[in-house]
């Protein structure tokens, strides 16, 4: 595992509180007594060049509920906030007409080793309405912009590496942690997808994607990380607890808190 992937780069994170977290567990709801927090609000936000139309991608309080849903699944898995996403399907003059929302970080992951990624996933607030708009697979995705550095495509210096989650196990409430290393599928865009065989139409597992990227060329490196929705079906929901290796990114209304694990 590459310890730098998903960790702070020099001068980026401002430490605001230190609390211990047991290193033996995967991410889940964390209390103030078990979490060690840092606040990183400077470099997270809407990635304008990757946003189409006028979708909403904003840090918010909640969502809580819905009515009649008690217990932990009624509120965000971390803190009291989340990343809210609202994307329309027929609202632009483009083809397709759907919007695209991209909320991420173009600074802190730049240059990190893609093959060092070994833990990744998030929690999602899915609704029955979203399923009615586009089916159970109507979900946000996670996109890493990378330099694939493939021996099979030496002239290709850019690709999107996309995790498409499977259906949420629950609707109308917060899901458990969706593990991108064992669920859903991965693909690469453009020439990198063609060279590796990990395309949108023929996606790979997480292990298969990493093996395909490790083809003897220079090691692939990251440009950015983003939670993305579009361009397909209308979707209104939220994401929280984005995990990247030993860090969980807790989306709160007042900023993004990075919770170190171990």
Name which residue leads in pLDDT, 24 or 240.
240
For 208-234, what is each residue's pLDDT tens digit?
999 999 999 999 999 999 999 999 999
Per-residue confidence (pLDDT) for residue 258, from 0 to 100: 96
Alpha-carbon gap, residue 40 to 3, rounded angstroms = 18
For 142-195, what is each residue's pLDDT tens digit?
999 999 999 999 999 999 999 999 999 999 999 999 999 999 999 999 999 999
Residue 69's pLDDT band, with cuts at 50, 70 and 90, is: confident
Mean pLDDT for 125-135 is 98
Per-residue confidence (pLDDT) for residue 65, from 0 to 100: 82
Give percent of the chain with pLDDT exceeding 90: 79
Mean pLDDT for 197-217 is 97
Spatial contact of 143 and 120, defined as CB atoms under 8 Å apart: no
Residue 37's pLDDT band, with cuts at 50, 70 and 90, is: very low
Q: Is the pLDDT of residue 251 over 80?
A: yes
- What 20-25 contacts at long range (C-beta under 8 Å, 24+ apart), as own/partner pairs, is 21/259, 21/260, 21/261, 21/262, 23/261, 23/262, 25/261
Per-residue confidence (pLDDT) for residue 25, from 0 to 100: 31
Q: Is the pLDDT of residue 110 over 90?
A: yes
Mean pLDDT for 95-112 is 97
Per-residue confidence (pLDDT) for residue 250, from 0 to 100: 98
The average confidence (pLDDT) of the chain is 87
Residue 70's pLDDT band, with cuts at 50, 70 and 90, is: confident
Residue with tokens 């003897």: 216
Name which residue leads in pLDDT, 41 or 173.
173
Q: Cβ atoms within 10 A of the Cβ of 93, count?
A: 6
Alpha-carbon gap, residue 94 to 230, rounded angstroms = 13
Per-residue confidence (pLDDT) for residue 41, from 0 to 100: 53
Q: Is the pLDDT of residue 5 over 90?
A: no
């Amino acid at each position: 595992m590459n310890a730098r992937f998903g960790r702070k780069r020099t001068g980026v994170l401002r430490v605001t509180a230190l609390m211990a977290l047991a290193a033996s567990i995967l991410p889940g709801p964390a209390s103030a007594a078990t979490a060690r927090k840092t606040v990183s609000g400077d470099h997270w936000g809407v990635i304008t060049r990757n946003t189409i139309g006028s979708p909403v991608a904003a840090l918010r309080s909640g969502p809580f509920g819905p009515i009649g849903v008690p217990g932990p699944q009624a509120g965000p898995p971390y803190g009291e906030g989340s990343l809210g996403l609202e994307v329309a399907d027929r609202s632009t003059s483009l083809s397709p007409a759907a919007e695209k929302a991209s909320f991420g970080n173009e600074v802190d992951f730049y240059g990190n080793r893609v093959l060092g990624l070994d833990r990744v996933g998030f929690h999602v607030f899915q609704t029955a309405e979203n399923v009615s708009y586009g089916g159970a697979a109507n979900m946000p995705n996670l996109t890493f912009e990378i330099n694939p550095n493939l021996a099979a495509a030496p002239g290709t210096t850019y690709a999107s590496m996309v995790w498409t989650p499977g259906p949420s196990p629950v609707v109308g409430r917060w899901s458990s942690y969706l593990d991108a290393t064992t669920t859903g599928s991965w693909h690469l865009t453009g020439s990198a997808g063609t060279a590796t065989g990990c395309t949108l139409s023929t996606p790979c597992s997480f292990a298969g994607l990493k093996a395909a990227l490790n083809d003897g060329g220079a090691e692939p490196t990251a440009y950015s990380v983003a939670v993305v929705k579009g361009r397909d079906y209308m979707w209104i929901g939220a994401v929280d607890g984005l995990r990247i290796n030993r860090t969980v990114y807790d989306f709160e209304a007042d900023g993004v808190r990075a919770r170190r694990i171990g």
